[in-house]
């Protein structure tokens, strides 16, 4: 149902670029100004109005990739998420959120919503009934995230979007893990797609940014909230993000290939108890993933056998670096039990399926043989 006639890599490379009228250079110029005229102009431009030339350029590119009418860039993923939620939730409203969501989003909801008079419920699972059973008379928004962190659970996007429509609710997805290369949720009926552009869209571990993509109607509401909350991305960062997205298609293609290779290598390994990757036939949600994803992404998690100490294993890796973040061209690893899920007790972690030996691997674009060599030498240190 793609609305764009251009191929994805062509959109990545060309769509939304600013023509250099002055010198004819190949790259979008950066317009670093916060001061624009207000007399006799069609558009009153200002950075916090999200309408400077560089903001519009990168927004146009992201909108094309998300098959959306419009997108705007934010200064972080959380600025995009918080602004969008506050655009659609008022005092007295209720939201249903997926149980497994990004830690920052979870913290925003549990720390701030009640004192603002916004009610919330988390689901017990990711099935349609899990969401539908939490809907109340004041529910306004359904919020999902797929693939989820760190167990790569897959939520049936179309089924949830259809259910939200039936009840007249706004549906929002955090599309960060898939990237618009692997998943275009608006085609499946979701109203709003959000990214932490700090991850795949940026892709080089050097940008903090976010983005929201939707119809003009919804974006108008989000824009009105955004100019009050002020999470606008600077023109310089817009330029870097635009430059990064030029290679998004080929980067993600390689992330997909490498992660698929690493998932099956780890799955066959005697030192590994379990692998979580939606591209594996053994993944419980593989069939849904196949239906709604063009590629299975660069993220996977695996559990080391009990006799291995996961902290020591991680410290013995030489090429694969421990990192809180993800989705860079370089492979990185983290232990959810010491980071995102550190505040839970071991028992609580166990109940949500996160063992202390679980490692989350963000597979980069390196040669996979070198990643395998790194893992093998780390395991050898236990001999």
SS3 334: strand
CA distance 163 to 203: 33
Alpha helices in 96-137 (DSSP H): 103-108, 128-132
Q: Considering the complex, what minimum distance in angstroms separates the CB of residue 326 from ligand PLP?
A: 6
Long-range CB contacts (< 8 A, 24+ apart) of 8-12?
A: 8/65, 8/181, 8/249, 9/249, 9/250, 11/61, 11/64, 11/65, 12/61, 12/65, 12/245, 12/246, 12/247, 12/248, 12/249
SS3 231: coil
Annotation says 49 is catalytic: no
CA distance 107 to 246: 33
Site string for ligand PLP, 207-246 (x = CB under 6 A): -x-x------------------------------------
Annotation says 162 is catalytic: no
Annotated catalytic residue within 36, 46, 48, 309: 48
- 210-214/192-196 β-pairing: antiparallel
Site string for ligand PLP, 317-346 (x = CB under 6 A): ------------------------------
Which positions from 91 through 110 interact with ligand PLP, judged by CB under 6 A? 102, 104
Check if the beta carbon of residue 109 is closer than 8 Å to that of residue 84: no
Going from the C-alpha of 77 to that of each of 102, 280, 338, 369, the distances in angstroms are 10, 29, 22, 33
Q: Which stretch binds ligand PLP (CB under 6 A): 57-65, 111-119, 196-204, 371-379?
A: 196-204
Is 255 a residue that touches ligand PLP (CB under 6 A)? no
Closest CA to 324 of 98, 149, 194: 149
CA distance 383 to 368: 24
Is 189 a residue that touches ligand PLP (CB under 6 A)? no
- 170-174/139-145 β-pairing: parallel
Which of 195, 218 has the CB closer to ligand PLP?
195
Is 198 a residue that touches ligand PLP (CB under 6 A)? yes
Q: Which stretch binds ligand PLP (CB under 6 A): 34-42, 82-90, 173-181, 240-248?
A: 173-181
Q: Which stretch binds ligand PLP (CB under 6 A): 55-63, 174-182, 220-228, 282-290?
A: 174-182
User: Could you tell me where the beta strands, DSSP code E, fall in 148-295?
Assistant: 170-174, 192-196, 210-214, 272-276
Q: Is 23 exposed, middle or buried, given 0-12, 13-18 or 19+ CB atoms closer than 10 A?
A: exposed
Annotation says 254 is catalytic: no
Q: Considering the complex, what minimum distance in angstroms separates the CB of residue 126 from ligand PLP?
A: 15
Q: Considering the complex, what minimum distance in angstroms separates the CB of residue 163 from ligand PLP?
A: 22
Annotation says 102 is catalytic: yes
Which positions from 38 through 77 interact with ligand PLP, judged by CB under 6 A? 76-77
Size of the site for ligand PLP (CB under 6 A): 15
Is 182 a residue that touches ligand PLP (CB under 6 A)? no
Q: Considering the complex, what minimum distance in angstroms separates the CB of residue 333 from ligand PLP?
A: 15
| Residues contributing to the site for ligand PLP (CB under 6 A) | 76-78, 102, 104, 145, 149, 174, 176-177, 196, 198-199, 208, 210
Catalytic annotation, residues = 48, 102, 174, 199
């Amino acid at each position: 149902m793609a609305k764009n006639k251009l191929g994805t890599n062509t959109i990545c490379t060309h769509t939304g670029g600013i023509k250099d009228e002055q010198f004819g250079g190949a790259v979008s110029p950066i317009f670093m100004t916060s001061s624009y005229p207000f007399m006799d102009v069609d558009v009153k431009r200002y950075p916090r109005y999200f309408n400077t030339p560089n903001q519009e350029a990168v927004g146009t590119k992201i909108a094309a990739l998300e098959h959306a009418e419009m997108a705007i860039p934010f200064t972080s993923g959380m600025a995009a998420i918080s602004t969008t939620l506050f655009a659609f939730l008022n005092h007295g409203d209720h939201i249903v959120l997926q149980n497994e969501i990004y830690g920052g989003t979870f913290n925003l909801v549990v720390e701030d919503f009640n004192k603002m008079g916004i009610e919330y419920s988390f689901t017990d699972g990711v099935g349609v009934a899990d969401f539908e059973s939490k809907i109340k008379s004041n529910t306004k928004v359904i919020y999902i995230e797929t693939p989820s962190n760190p167990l790569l659970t897959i939520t049936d996007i179309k089924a949830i979007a259809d259910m939200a429509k039936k009840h007249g609710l706004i549906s929002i997805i955090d599309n960060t893990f898939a990237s618009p290369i692997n998943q275009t949720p608006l085609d499946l009926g979701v109203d709003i797609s959000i990214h932490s552009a700090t991850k795949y869209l940026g892709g080089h571990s050097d940008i903090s940014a976010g983005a929201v993509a939707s119809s003009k109607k919804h974006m108008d509401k989000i824009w009105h909230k955004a100019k009050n909350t002020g999470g606008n991305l600077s023109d310089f960062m817009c330029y870097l993000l635009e430059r990064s997205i030029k290679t998004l298609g080929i980067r993600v293609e390689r992330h997909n290939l490498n992660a698929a290779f690493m998932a099956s290598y780890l799955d066959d390994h005697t030192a590994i108890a379990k692998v979580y990757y939606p591209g594996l036939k053994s993944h419980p949600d593989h069939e849904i993933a196949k239906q709604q994803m063009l590629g299975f992404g660069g993220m996977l998690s695996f559990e080391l056998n009990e006799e291995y100490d996961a902290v020591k294993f991680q410290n013995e890796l030489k090429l694969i670096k421990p990192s809180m973040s993800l989705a860079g061209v370089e492979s990185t690893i983290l232990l959810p039990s010491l980071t995102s899920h550190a505040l839970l007790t071991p028992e609580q972690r166990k109940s949500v399926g996160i063992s202390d030996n679980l490692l989350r691997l963000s597979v980069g674009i390196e040669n996979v043989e070198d990643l395998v060599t790194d893992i093998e030498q780390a395991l050898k240190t236990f001999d």
